[in-house]
Every structure is written in C-alpha cells, then in structure tokens.
Structure 1
Amino acid sequence: MAKLLLAEDDQAISMLERDYLEMEGYEITAVDNGQAAITEALKGEYDLILLDLMLPGCNGYDVCRLIRDKIDIPILMVTARTESVDKVRGLGLGADDYIAKPFDPAELVARVKSHLARYARLTGGQEEQEALTVGDLRILPQSWKVFKGEREVKMPNREFALLKFLAEHPNVVFSKEKLFEAIWGCDYLGDSATVTVHIGRIRDKVEDDPAHPTLIETVWGAGYRLNRQ
C-alpha cells in the first residue's frame, strides 16, 4: 500500500483529497502547515507528497526547496495559483506536477496513480547495469545514483531519468517535445517547457560551468544533445 503525505491547510479540501485517495487504498498522513510537512517528508516513509502552495509557516515553495535534494519521491503541487511563472518556479524547485484548484477529485487520483506507477517503473525491476560514463560523470542506473568525480550528485527522479535517457543516446539531438514524451509520457498534463526547467537544474549539478554548458548542449531550433567523445 502506497503511503502519501498530504500537506493542505484548508480542512474541507484536505478531507476531500483524503477521502478519495483512501477509497483507492492509499494510506494518508495529513498535515496543515509547512514545518510539519518538512518534518514528515524527511522521515522517508512516503511514496508521494501532495503539497499545497499557500501553507502557513512555510509555503510550498520553501518546503519543496528544503526537501527536494533529500528525497526523490514524486511531489505534486496543489494550488489555486496557476500563472505560468508560478508553475515554472515550482518545477524549478523540483516539483513533478502541478494541479490547479478547483480540481476534479478523479483527476487528482489519476495523477497520483500515474506518478506512482511511473516512479515504480523508473526505480524498480531493473537488472544490474553497468555505469554510464560521460567524462567525469558516472550514472548508475540500478542504484539510481550520479557521481561527478568522487562526489555524489543528488537528483530527483525526473532529473535522473532525463539525464540517463540522454546518456543512453549520446551525440543525438532530441527535441523538447521528444524528451517530454520519453520522460513524462502522454498522460502528463504539462508541456515541453518542463524539459527546459529540468535541463537547467541538471546543468547546475553536472556542468563545470553551467552558464556555458558543454556536456548537455542546446542545439538552437532543434533541441538538446549530450556530448560524449
């Protein structure tokens, strides 16, 4: 049974989300403020987090920023703020999806199921594989780890999956749309701008000079290419 952390300060919405998710067999822990969300999330006992943006004490952005590099489970932001800049900021901090209020409870359940299933496919059931090596970068598909030199680089699941996909197809240019389809899938209700955000986060972690990337190159008008000699 998957365990979900629900961070929502509106009791009516929290009860609605909880009722629908529990009917699907999920075990729910609900909190109503940002600090409690951080404390619970870092226990490492959850499979997915539903995170309201406007939490008291510590907002959803800050919660996501503080926990994202410590846990790699899916984080779904649930919020009434739907401006593009808010979505990009949330994704840039490591959120996996963005659900706007008011929402259809059936859609919420479907999104949760989709992310849990995709995360399970990404992290489980793989046979031991050799490391993918690109320069001083080593990607370990089985253990879900990335090393730059001797230093481990923490990556959430979508960043890891995107880097791994590019490393498995070196020197090939992929459009943002192709990468979005390969990593997020057709059932994800987002757009290819998500790829740009995640590429930027990966570059910050693996490039020697993120402002002038050489590992993951932008091919203007075409997409992105991971360069390997």
Structure 2
Amino acid sequence: MTAIDEHGAYTILIVEDDTAVKSLIATTLKVQGYRGLEASTGTAALLEATTKNPDVIILDLGLPDADGIDLIREIRTWSRTPIIVVSARTDDADKVAALDAGADDYLTKPFSVEELLARLRVATRRLAAEGAADADGPVYENGSLRVDFAARTVTLNDEEVHLTPIEYKLLALLARNTGKVLTHNAILKEVWGNAFASDLPSLRVFMATLRKKIEPDPAHPDYIQTHVGIGYRMLRK
C-alpha cells in the first residue's frame, strides 16, 4: 500500500474512456478529499499503476485498447491494490469473471455517486485494517471476532469458538480479504484445491455451519455477506 499523501488523502486511479463518466468520478473524489489520477486506456492505466502506485483503482472494463478483465489479471501478478470495477456489463458471468480475475468489487452503470463512495470507503477501510494487522502481528480483529492466525484460534466475545479445519480455512480466507467479494470458484480452489472446484453444495454447507458458530443471528449475518450467484464477503464491523 502506498503512503497517504501530504494532504491525508488516498490516491485513486480512475481508468475510464468515457470523458463524462471520468469527469464525474474525478470531481466527486476531489470534493471528498481524495487525490485522483486518470487514464483512458489500458496502456496508460498500467503506466500510472506501476509508476504512481495508487491506493485504489476504479476500472471500466470496456477500454479501447484492452479488456478490463485482462488488465485486472495483469495487475494482480504484482499488486494487491484494491480494484473496484465500474462497468455497463450487467451479466452475472461478467461480474464473476472480473471478481475471479482479482477485482475486489463490481458496480454496474448507471450508478449513484453515493454508492461508489460507499464501495470506496469499504476498500480504504480494508487498506487501513491491513496496515494495522501488519503492524500488530498475525491477529485479526473485527468487532467481537478475533482470529489468531499463528495459534489458529478463534474467539467471539472473548470466548473460544471451536471450528473444524475447513471452517477455520474459510474464516481465515474471508478475514484476510475483508471487504472483498470472493467468488465461489476462488474459495473452492483456495480451500479445497482444484480437484473439488465444482463442489458448490459442500461450500454452502460449511458456510452455513460457520455462520451458526460466529453469527449472533445466522439468518441476518453481521460478518459474512452472501452475494447470490457470485460468492461471499467478510464485512468490516
């Protein structure tokens, strides 16, 4: 993560070839105190990303010289910078493809500036949390939930929660990606490996049992949010 600039603002790279949309986003960010960078092509976006090291990237998928999903894959080979997709593509398949490629969030056009700012706040909170975790050691804290990665222990309201190995892997994966939507395929491959990448029913069963152990009301979860047809996200409390 880059250091916050001298004005205390996060640096946001806007990758958008529609001048009106780019101007709207840039003006909104400036009013909110963010520092903005702009690019209209995939080539320019990579140059800005590698030389300016932005804190967050807002990315349109339909660029004149590149597909945004390919650009996400390229960035993910060397950076964990949060990427928020803003696209006119509304099909679930496009959303899943972008998230599987490494995007952190997906917002469809037309969108409200309030929603964009809300997604951006999630991304910057994740940056702040990761920075705090790096400083404090291998312990994750989120509301009343605490995960000690070194000891592989979980506590809720200061009481130990006994998880199965799979439940712990799921929780640890979501915790390390707080604020980011993880697709079903990404979770299955990470937790079970490629051999079980199609076993979605098992994922749903384990997610249900995990929620029963950490959620005060599993029917209305505080921590693990479901994105129907796409995956799951750990919310920051």
Indicate whether the TM-score tops 0.5.
Answer: yes
The match for 1:222 is 205
Q: Shift in Å at residue 44 of structure 1?
A: 5.4
> C-alpha deviations, 1:1-53, integer Å up to 9, x for none?
21010000000000000000111111101110111111211225210000001
Relative distance call for 1:68 and 1:20 in structure 2 (3 A) is same
Q: Shift in Å at residue 123 of structure 1?
A: 2.9
The match for 2:103 is 95
Q: Shift in Å at residue 220 of structure 1?
A: 5.7
Q: Shift in Å at residue 223 of structure 1?
A: 2.1
> Matches of 1:29 and 1:221 in 2, distance apart?
40
Q: How many residues align?
A: 180
Relative distance call for 1:127 and 1:37 in structure 2 (3 A) is closer
The match for 2:195 is 211
**SS of alignment partner, residue 40 of structure 1:** helix
Do structure 1's residue 120 and structure 2's residue 128 form an aligned pair?
Answer: yes
The partner residue of 1:8 within 16, 22, 25 is 16
Quick one: percent identity of the two aligned structures? 31
> C-alpha deviations, 1:103-136, integer Å up to 9, x for none?
001111111112111221123254553xxxxxxx
Q: Shift in Å at residue 181 of structure 1?
A: 7.8
The match for 2:79 is 71
1:91-170 matches, within 5 Å, as 91-124=99-132, 126-129=134-137, 141=138
Q: Structure 1: any 5+ residue segments left out of the alignment? A: 130-140, 143-163
> What residue identity is the alignment partner of 2:205?
A
**Does structure 2 conserve the Cα–Cα contact (< 8 Å) formed by 1:68 and 1:94?**
yes
> C-alpha deviations, 1:56-75, integer Å up to 9, x for none?
10121111011112111110
**SS of alignment partner, residue 12 of structure 2:** strand
Point out the structure with the larger helix share. 2
The match for 1:196 is 184
> Matches of 2:84 and 2:109 in 1, distance apart?
13
The match for 1:41 is 49
RMSD: 3.6
**Does structure 2 conserve the Cα–Cα contact (< 8 Å) formed by 1:74 and 1:95?**
yes
> Matches of 1:30 and 1:221 in 2, distance apart?
40
**SS of alignment partner, residue 77 of structure 1:** strand
The partner residue of 2:38 within 30, 47, 58 is 30
> C-alpha deviations, 1:168-212, integer Å up to 9, x for none?
56634549x978985546xx8x6xxx3423314536xxx8x6325
The match for 1:132 is none
Relative distance call for 1:125 and 1:179 in structure 2 (3 A) is closer
**Does structure 1 conserve the Cα–Cα contact (< 8 Å) formed by 2:189 and 2:196?**
no
**SS of alignment partner, residue 194 of structure 2:** coil
Do structure 1's residue 171 and structure 2's residue 170 form an aligned pair?
Answer: no
